[in-house]
Structure 1
Amino acid sequence: MRSVQRTTAYVHDPELLRDVALVCLAGGVVGVSFGAIAVAGGLPVWVPVVMSLVVYAGSAQFSAVGVLLAGGGPLAAAATGLLLNTRTVAFSLTVADVIGRGRLARLVGAHLVTDETVAFALAQADPARRRAAFWISGLGLFAVWNAGVLVGALAGSALGDTDRYGLDAAFPAVLAALVLPTLREKAGVRRSAALGAAVALAVTPAVPAGVPVLLALTGLFLYGRKEASV
């Protein structure tokens, strides 16, 4: 009960709510782009809408739809999405204590584990604030993402070429803003992030899209070894 009270207390934290609003704004913009791209490519409206509710993973959804629009089958699209989502295994382990111990909390929390919610939670200073950041941003982003996808899907091809709006830069910009405080304060995190970034850049020309992100997780091994030796 005290944990819930401490978490809900942050609902009225202006700084936290401002940051959550920034994440949700980016999520909604990219969601509109995803819905529009899917429908403009020939998929029915219900496909991106249902996918966003059930799968709820932006990069996996974009990749799966890309496979479908390129003529690939459902199995190939699903395999692509699963490959990209393997990174959430590491994310889930990182925020396991933040999500909570109840069955319902774990079930819902697992569905809300994304790059953004994890980065948002880890950027906070104390456990209660991490928990609040995860749940507030997770629920808010889920709602805004799905609303954005629906709007984009209904708009269809009316938006034209979504690439010209630079919508793909919204998420990276928000993530960078969230993780910068942690990078400034912890040398071990900086070294791990540098290693992961170097690996991703090195393999980008040689591997399919999405794989560099997975290989960047090798930076976690450096951080884990550092923590174990302390």
Structure 2
Amino acid sequence: MDTINRTELHSLLRSVAVVCLAGGILGISYGALAIGYGLPWWIPVLLSVAVVAGASEMMFVAIIGVGGSPWLAAAAGLLVNARHVPFGFQVAPVMGHGLRSILGAHAINDESTSFAIAGSSPAMRRLGFWACGVGIVLVWPLGTALGTWLGAFLGDLDRWGLDAVFPAMILALVIPKARAGGAVLTTAVVLGAAITVATASFLPAGLPELLSLAAVAFARPWRPATTEWELSS
């Protein structure tokens, strides 16, 4: 049976707490900005409960906020969320089977997947995945709900300069992944941004974002990371 070192456990829980705190704060910003874009409060809250994927939710709300088609916004969000397919293969060994795997699928996100891969033992990987996954599932909707309440007091986004926050959030999510992915992935990100900027002036809102995803073809094919349990099997 796997054992968990007390020092490792404390370190893991501290890291999970910091990540969940950041997720809650981001959720507050997301909820407030969604209200600022004129959406009813229940839309970001419903998305935060059902989707639990910040980047795709922000993409959806941002496209709707600038007058884009809901269908284009949904398509863009789904394509951004397609990264969860390889994530599922990565975390399958720690999710278990049956009902646990169904619940675990809802807890898959960038952060919980990172903890599931980075753990020093199978027990630490399982604990990291579930602690972070469940934490984000709880704090993201709570932060979003609080943000929708605060958003009612913000008024016009342009007055506060908050219309730039969504793009900044998405950029903050993309840059570390591009740097970790090397020159090829960085090129794909830059090309995607260039496509968006070049087509935004004459295409309907939402379509430039969809077209920019064609740059993914220039990224390296996804390869699952070699993990300890694979090496020992």
- Which TM-score band applies after superposition, normalised by the shorter structure? 0.7 to 0.9
- Corresponding residue for residue 34 of structure 1: 30
TM-score, structure 2 length as denominator?
0.73
Identity fraction in percent: 34
Structure 1 counterpart of 2:203:
none
Alpha-carbon spacing, 1:213–1:18, altered in 2? closer, same or farther (3 Å): farther
Distance 1:28 1:222, change over 3 A: closer
Equivalent of residue 218 in structure 1, options 196, 217, 220: 220
Displacement of 1:72: 2.5
**What amino acid does structure 2 have at the position aligned with 1:133?**
G
Q: How does 1:181-196 map to 2 (within 5 A)?
A: 193=182, 195-196=184-185
Other-structure match for 2:115: 120
**Size of the alignment, in residue pairs?**
207
Tell me whether 126-135 or 200-209 shows the greater mean CA deviation. Answer: 200-209
What residue is the counterpart of 1:98 in the other structure? 94
Residues 189-226 of structure 1, C-alpha deviation per residue, up to 9 Å, x if partnerless?
x7x555433433344322555738955862534978xx
Answer yes or no: is the 8 Å Cα contact 1:32–1:148 preserved in 2: yes
CA contact (8 A) 1:30 1:167 kept: no
Within a 5 Å distance, the mapping from 1:12-31 to structure 2 comes to 13-31=9-27
Q: Deviations over 1:99-128 (max 9, x none)?
A: 112x21111111111111112221222111
Are residues 222 and 18 of structure 1, via their aligned partners in 2, closer, same or farther at CA, if it must alter by over 3 Å? closer
Whole-Å Cα distance in 2 between the matches of residues 154 and 134 of structure 1?
30
Q: Which runs of 5+ in 2 are unaligned?
A: 155-159, 197-207
Secondary structure in 2 matching 1:211: helix
Question: CA contact under 8 A between 1:35 and 1:148: conserved in structure 2?
Answer: yes
Could you say which residue in structure 2 is the equivalent of 1:197? 186
User: Aligned-pair RMSD on alpha carbons?
Assistant: 3.6
Alignment of 1:69-218 (within 5 A): 69-101=65-97, 103-159=98-154, 160-162=160-162, 163=164, 168=169, 172=173, 193=182, 195-207=184-196, 208-209=208-209, 211=213, 214=216, 218=220
Q: Tell me which amino acid in the other structure corresponds to 2:99.
A: L
Q: For residue 56 of structure 1, give the secondary structure of its aligned residue in structure 2.
A: coil
Paired residue for 1:186?
A: none
SS at match of 1:204: helix
Q: Which residue of 2 aligns with 1:187?
A: none
Which sits farther off after the overlay, 151-160 or 109-118?
151-160
SS state at 2:222 partner: helix
Instruction: Please report how far the alpha carbon of residue 16 of structure 1 lies from its aligned counterpart in structure 2 after TM superposition.
Output: 0.7
Structure 2 CA distance for aligned equivalents of residues 67 and 47 of structure 1: 14
Q: Distance in 1 between matches of 2:172 and 2:128?
A: 17
Q: Distance in 2 between matches of 1:216 and 1:21?
A: 36
Does the CA-based 8 Å contact 1:27-1:171 persist in structure 2?
no
Consecutive unaligned residues in structure 1, runs of 5 or more: 184-189
SS at match of 1:154: helix
